[in-house]
Structure 1
Amino acid sequence: MNRLSRAVLGLFAAPRLNLREDYPKVRRMQQAFSSLVGPRYRSAYRETVAATDHGDIPVRVFQPRQRRRQDVLLFFHGGGWVTGDIESYTPACATMAELTGCVVASVDYRLAPEYPFPAGLQDCFDVTRRLLQDPRRAGVQEAGQIVLVGDSAGGNLAAAVSLMLRERGLPVAGRQILLYPVTHWDHDPHTSPFASVRHHGEDYRLTNSEVQDYFELYVPEARERRNPLVAPLMAPDLTGQPASLVITAELDLLCDEGEEYGRLLRAAGNEVRIHRVDSALHGFIALPRFSRSLREAYEVINAFLDDFPDEVPA
């Protein structure tokens, strides 16, 4: 990358935050921004709840203006398991519905540190299990029409939900789309096995220290961070997983670990596609529709949905 490109991308550098102390500020900033842009999307969604054994979980359902596919995308938002919610992700989910022609159901799972691991994961699992066992609740006829989608920490949750379903002998979703997912527990540039952690952990959008802060809030007990439901790369058995699309961002510290998870899924006998968006930053799914990174990602997502219709692993 030339110096001019680096200088321009430097404008998108992540603010240096101590998330362990500043996460309430980040949440307030997200809420303030959502209050400004949210009203324009209200006609695109409806509110509902998923009743589970652990309580009612809010879900926001986005309907595309023209429904081109019968699939329902069950979406878990990013934010390091600590920030983000269905309000702040409303523009991204409305865009997802429009560009895929699918209904998108965004899950408002509980956040750390008020609700550390496994609370948020349990919420995502409960909603997924409920819909897979009775897909008519999602407005579809077959469980294979429910597609798990998540970005960043949400991609981590989608992968973990699929592992939980397989481990418990329950039906898994037919497909999952993991957008620049967190799959490993170590993001220290001195000890991480991944080059992207060393090369991109201090430059843009998301930093090594911020990921570490998120982990400390989500999983306070350090030893528990190696749990496969926290770090899916640690799973000893990746067989029986959904057909998977892993999309990574070239300039993201999570790039290499996401792609490694895709390779291990493939080696375990699963159908997997891995696509790296060149020159892209972490979090690009929230960019405006004219963004090249966003448009490229949705071309790949739509091709994946077309090529793997309604498939459920045996």
Structure 2
Amino acid sequence: MNRLQQFVLSLFAAPRLNMREDYGKVRRAQRWVASISMPWRRTPYRQTLVRLGDRSISVRVFQPQQRTRDDVLVFFHGGGWVTGDIETYTPACANMAELTGCAVASVNYRLAPEHPFPAGLNDCYGVAQQVLANPLAAGIDRAENIVLIGDSAGGNLAAATSLLLKERGQRAFSRQILLYPVTHWDHDPETSPFDSVREYGEGLRLTNTEIDDYFDLYVPEPMEQRGPLVSPLMADDLSGQPTTLILTAEQDLLRDEGEAYGQAIAAADGTAEVHRIPSALHGFIQLPKFSKPMREAYEHINAFLDAHPAPKVGA
């Protein structure tokens, strides 16, 4: 990437913050931005609660104006496990419902550092376990219609949830969609095995320093960061994973590790499609729906849903 390209891309960079100290400010800013982006006024949603022991997890369910698919997308939002929630992702989920013709269920899992690992993962796993075991109670015709989807840290949680379901011998999702997911623990340009960390780790939408801060807030114990439920690419066994779609952003430090995860699933005799969105930055799923990266992303998502419909009962 030449200096002119680097300069142009830097215009789209997020303001540099000390995430360890400023995560509260980021959360408030994200909610304000979401509040002035109001596509959900045309996309109805309802709020529900999923009981997990003595706690309740909020889930916001979006219905497209035209329901063209029976699939239900269970969505885990991004934000480095530290920021983001169902409010800040309401515009993105409203767009997701309209652009896929699917119902979208957005899960409001607990955030670090108030609730470090494995709290957020336990919430995602618990919700997933309930909707798979009793889909009718969640308003879903059958478990086969459920597709797991997440972006960035949410993609990480989706992958980890699938690993945990397999590890515990429980019913799993048949399909998952991972958008620029975090799959590896090392984002130091000196030691990372991935060239995208070195090429796109500074001055853009997500930096090496920020993701290291996110990791330390989410998983304070460094050696735990290398475990497969935090870094899915470190899993010894990736057999039995759902049919997977992975979309990466060309100009994103997470690009190569996301693509490597798809390759690892395929190498374990699984089915994985991997597509790189040209010229895209990290976080493109939150762009306006008329933007080119969004249009291309949803072309791949819709093609994946068409190519891999819900398995028939008894199949």
2:66 pairs with 1:104: no
Structure-2 residue corresponding to 1:252: 252
Q: Structure 1 residue 16: deviation in Å?
A: 1.5
1:260-287: CA deviation from partner (whole Å, max 9, x where unpaired): 0000000111111000001100000000
Structure-2 residue corresponding to 1:302: 302
> Following superposition of structure 1 onto structure 2, how do residues 197-216 of structure 1 map, counting pairs within 5 Å?
197-216=197-216
Identity value in percent = 65
Q: Which amino acid aligns with 1:172?
A: A
d(CA) in 1 for partners of 2:90, 2:178 = 18
Q: Which amino acid aligns with 1:238?
A: L
2:283 pairs with 1:283: yes
Structure-2 residue corresponding to 1:225: 225
d(CA) in 2 for partners of 1:184, 1:41 = 38
d(CA) in 2 for partners of 1:187, 1:124 = 25
Q: Which amino acid aligns with 1:207?
A: T
> Following superposition of structure 1 onto structure 2, how do residues 138-149 of structure 1 map, counting pairs within 5 Å?
138-149=138-149
* TM-score, with length taken from structure 2: 0.96
2:21 pairs with 1:21: yes
Secondary structure of the corresponding residue to residue 148 of structure 1: strand
Q: Structure 1 residue 288: deviation in Å?
A: 0.4
Structure-1 residue corresponding to 2:187: 187
Aligned in 2, Cα 1:40/1:161: closer, same or farther, shift over 3 Å?
Answer: closer
d(CA) in 1 for partners of 2:210, 2:3 = 26
Q: Once superposed, which parts of structure 1, at least 4 consecutive aligned residues long, lie more than 4 Å away?
A: 1-5
1:11-43: CA deviation from partner (whole Å, max 9, x where unpaired): 112321110011111011112223333585375
Secondary structure of the corresponding residue to residue 87 of structure 1: coil
1:212-234: CA deviation from partner (whole Å, max 9, x where unpaired): 00000000000100110000001
Q: Structure 1 residue 8: deviation in Å?
A: 2.6
Secondary structure of the corresponding residue to residue 84 of structure 2: coil
Aligned in 2, Cα 1:272/1:39: closer, same or farther, shift over 3 Å?
Answer: closer
1:114-161: CA deviation from partner (whole Å, max 9, x where unpaired): 000000000000000000001113323321110000000000000000
Secondary structure of the corresponding residue to residue 280 of structure 2: coil
d(CA) in 2 for partners of 1:167, 1:40 = 37
> Following superposition of structure 1 onto structure 2, how do residues 45-64 of structure 1 map, counting pairs within 5 Å?
45-53=45-53, 55-64=55-64
> Following superposition of structure 1 onto structure 2, how do residues 63-78 of structure 1 map, counting pairs within 5 Å?
63-78=63-78
1:178-207: CA deviation from partner (whole Å, max 9, x where unpaired): 000000001011110000000000031000
Q: Which amino acid aligns with 2:291?
A: S
d(CA) in 2 for partners of 1:264, 1:75 = 23
**Aligned residues of 2:91 and 2:286 also touching (Cα < 8 A):** yes
Q: Structure 1 residue 4: deviation in Å?
A: 4.8
Q: Structure 1 residue 5: deviation in Å?
A: 4.2
**Aligned residues of 1:76 and 1:151 also touching (Cα < 8 A):** yes
Q: Calculate the aligned-residue CA RMSD, in Å.
A: 1.7
1:83-105: CA deviation from partner (whole Å, max 9, x where unpaired): 00000000000000000000000
Secondary structure of the corresponding residue to residue 15 of structure 1: coil
Secondary structure of the corresponding residue to residue 220 of structure 1: coil
* TM-score, with length taken from structure 1: 0.96
* Aligned length in residues: 314
**Aligned residues of 1:175 and 1:311 also touching (Cα < 8 A):** no
d(CA) in 1 for partners of 2:47, 2:65 = 17
Which runs of 5 or more structure 1 residues have no equivalent in the other structure? Answer: none
Q: Which moved more, 1:29-38 or 1:122-131?
A: 29-38
**Aligned residues of 2:64 and 2:103 also touching (Cα < 8 A):** yes
> Following superposition of structure 1 onto structure 2, how do residues 144-155 of structure 1 map, counting pairs within 5 Å?
144-155=144-155
Q: Which amino acid aligns with 2:189?
A: P
Secondary structure of the corresponding residue to residue 281 of structure 2: coil
> Following superposition of structure 1 onto structure 2, how do residues 75-90 of structure 1 map, counting pairs within 5 Å?
75-90=75-90
